[in-house]
Chain A
């Protein structure tokens, strides 16, 4: 299991996590609201640009990200080429004919539409914008800073404490999970394929949960000894700097511009089923 946070001293690392949460909300609203290709591409580029300013070592997993991007674009293009609803549409291939037994009447026929292919590719920009910004935020924000931001946003202390516990113990749980699996494999168990993975889960869950409950018992004792119920102070304090304020103003303008574009007819088309 890996931690996506990458140390750095860039502007984005110093940016208040609350602003980053606001940033993700602004982008989510914009990609949901707008539909124009040029505007969506602009939003996507605005989510890509910050990647230029972060440390070069972050590029180490760009290859994996590139594969994900390709899979998303291809996946959306294929699915939308089959399910495209808008007119005009040009059928270039028939997968299931309307008079095909059973499936034909259930599906109403499945065709591959030329326009749908491009519609899917264009719409994958929405997924990619949210994906790139989301990953960028978690790569430039330490988990403890995010927890601190949640507390500043008036999330109860017990929840933020719980989230810290999860984060702290995930690597341990992961290694314990692997240890149990290794032990099972040494005893001759093979976890290949989907069924194998499900079986391995069934075998490893009870000992994992028992270990987890024993740990929670010890942790609770330790927490209560340290007066868990009282409010805690933090070593690090979050303060709104001038740069944070500037980022907040820019993002708000961005949001207002998005609403204006929607008002002037660049909004998204909504169709169900």
Chain B
């Protein structure tokens, strides 16, 4: 049973990766990004990394990790997606931040890469299906919730038993997934609200 879930998960990740890879390279999505868009996305990558710094220590405490790290991340992620509403933005934001974070602070660790890839791919697919890049608050909240859900699901259901071989009871896993999903969703909603004023204010000064 355990192995079936594991291989099914790998299959899903590879399948999603294949779709994204195919679309990115076949349709030249990456080429469609202008210099301004690429620079904006990667400056937001830096901001995603920065907004987590004040919560590093508090984030290690039981359950607080799911709240304090998720909330600011959700805010910046949604504003970032709204600034460059295109396929590929989410992948660049999430995977870019993960890479920068590993290279600068936590150390290179490939064991976490599938988690970031999965989160990005699922959000990309959601945005592709809805044809909406967080321009509506409901979509912004769903994007945040997907990120929160998959991040916690990956750690407690895939990472803990299969990679780090740790035991966590079902109630503990469910609690973390719920708190993580809700707090990133709330963060995404705040991000949506803050983003309205920022985008409006910025568009008035510079044509973006």
Contact = CB atoms under 8 A, between A and B. Distances in A.
Contacts of B208: 213, 217
Contacts of B202: 210, 213
A21 B102 CA distance: 12
Interface in B100-129: 100, 102-111
Given A217-B36, A220-B36, A272 B109 contact: no
Contacts of B205: 214
Looking at chain A, what size class is its interface with the partner chain? 35 or more
Given A208-B47, A220-B39, A126 B164 contact: yes
A143 B110 contact: no
Contacts of A106: 171
A15 to B, nearest CB: 13
A146 B173 contact: no
A161 interface: yes
A166 B96 contact: yes
Interface string A202-228: 100110111011111101100110001
Contact of B107 (A130, A169, A208): A130
Interface string B166-193: 1111111100000000000000001000
Interface string B74-105: 01100100010000000010001001101111
Nearest to A20: B108
Interface string B42-55: 11111101110111
Nearest to A157: B30
B50 A166 contact: no
A224 B33 CA distance: 13
B167 A4 contact: no
Contacts of B18: none
Q: In this complex, which of B64, B104, B173 has the most chain A Cβ atoms within 10 angstroms of its Cβ?
A: B104
11 contacts: A136-B107, A143-B103, A156-B30, A166-B42, A166-B96, A201-B54, A205-B76, A205-B194, A213-B206, A214-B206, A270-B3
